[in-house]
Amino acid sequence: MLKVSGLSKSYGEQVVFENISFAMSQGERLGLVGRNGTGKTTLFKIVLGEEEQDAGTISMPRYYTIGHLSQHLKFSEGSVLEEAAKNLPNSEDGIDETYKAEAILMGLGLTEEYFSLKPSELSGGYQIRLNLAKVLVSNPSLLLLDEPTNYLDIVSIRWLKKFLQSWRGELMIITHDREFMDSVTTHTMAIHRSKVRKVSGATEKLYAQIIQEEEIYEQTRQNDEKKGSR
Ligand SMILES: Nc1ncnc2c1ncn2[C@@H]1O[C@H](COP(=O)(O)OP(=O)(O)OP(=O)(O)O)[C@@H](O)[C@H]1O
Ligand SMILES: [Mg+2]
């Protein structure tokens, strides 16, 4: 549903992406991997329109919505529950769906005793959890999560895992926790040498491919070197 075509991005001399293309199918949950500084967060920013690409296009259906975990801690409602419920999509049959917001808050460790607190009364870490709850409550077409487990304890990580496993929309997730990633994703994509490589399945399959490619690359390079020195 999301289609990235011919995307290039550099910061000065540093090439982050060089003409990359990929598409996500309906219901796809994509794990994004790559060493530090390879451009994972930059890709998210470009998809969100927070950062501009040098070339290429990002396309999606007209009705498509994208949700991400904002680092901005800005709340407008008088209570934690109201703040989370504010993002509920309009219910077609007019049924009150506040219970959905409650379930998500509780899953993330914001149990009932927090519901009536002012958002500003929460600790910084819990304010981030509230932001995460708001994104999940908003039920976007595509959910972008950059290291979401950093803000969570074991119990809420386990809850988030289950929640994402039954996520009906699309998901793109960055996490250093391979076990977590493999348990929630349907596809995996690596950023490597300014290009992307995507497989259906888990990280292991992708890493095996990359290692094999690196061996071929190294072999070719050595052969070229031999030729060059002749
Ligand atoms: N605004 C910027 N100006 C200049 N260079 C930038 C900017 N943002 C990112 N970069 C560089 O672009 C590269 C990609 O950064 P990015 O943050 O996307 O990597 P990442 O894969 O998310 O890394 P990490 O795993 O550490 O989170 C890095 O080398 C980074 O230094
Ligand atoms: Mg990053």
**Domain ranges within the chain, ordered by starting residue:** 1-65+141-149+167-230, 69-139
Q: How many CB atoms lie within 10 A of CB 187?
A: 20
Residue 48: which residues within 8 A CB-CB, separation 6 or more?
A: 66, 68, 144
The model's confidence at residue 71, banded by pLDDT at 50, 70 and 90, is confident
- With a 6 Å cutoff on the Cβ, whether 36 touches ligand 1 is yes
Task: Tell me which ligand sits closest to the C-alpha of residue 40.
Answer: 1
Q: Above 90 in pLDDT, residue 214?
A: no
What does the alpha-carbon distance between residue 51 and residue 9 come to, in Å, rounded to a whole number? 10
Task: Tell me which ligand sits closest to the C-alpha of residue 16.
Answer: 1
- Percent of residues, the chain, with pLDDT higher than 90: 80
Q: Under a CB-based contact definition with an 8 Å cutoff, are residues 160 and 113 in contact?
A: no
- With a 6 Å cutoff on the Cβ, whether 29 touches ligand 1 is no
| Closest alpha carbon to 35 in 190, 156, 227 | 190
**How far does residue 188's CA lie from ligand 1's centre (Å)?**
20
Least confident window among 5-9, 37-41, 66-70: 66-70
**How far does residue 57's CA lie from ligand 2's centre (Å)?**
21
CATH classification number, 1-65+141-149+167-230, choose in 3.20.20.70, 3.40.50.450, 2.70.70.10, 3.40.50.300: 3.40.50.300
Pairing of strands 2-11, 66-68: unpaired
At residue 230, the pLDDT reads 63
Query: 0.85 exceeded by the pTM?
Result: yes
At residue 133, the pLDDT reads 97
